Amino acid sequence: GIQVEQSPPDLILQEGANSTLRCNFSDSVNNLQWFHQNPWGQLINLFYIPSGTKQNGRLSATTVATERYSLLYISSSQTTDSGVYFCAVFGGTSGSRLTFGEGTQLTVNP
Residues at the interface with other proteins (CB under 8 A)? 30-31, 33, 35, 40-43, 45, 48, 86, 88, 90, 95-103
Cα 64 to Cα 83: distance, rounded to the nearest angstrom: 25
Q: Which residues are within 8 A (CB) of 92 and not within 5 positions of it... i.e. 6 or more apart?
A: 1, 2, 26, 27, 28, 29
Phi, psi of 49 (to 5 degrees): -150, 75
Compute the least distance from the CB of residue 11 to other proteins, in Å.
16
Compute the least distance from the CB of residue 7 to other proteins, in Å.
14
Nearer Cβ to other proteins, position 81 or 101?
A: 101
Nearer Cβ to other proteins, position 48 or 76?
A: 48
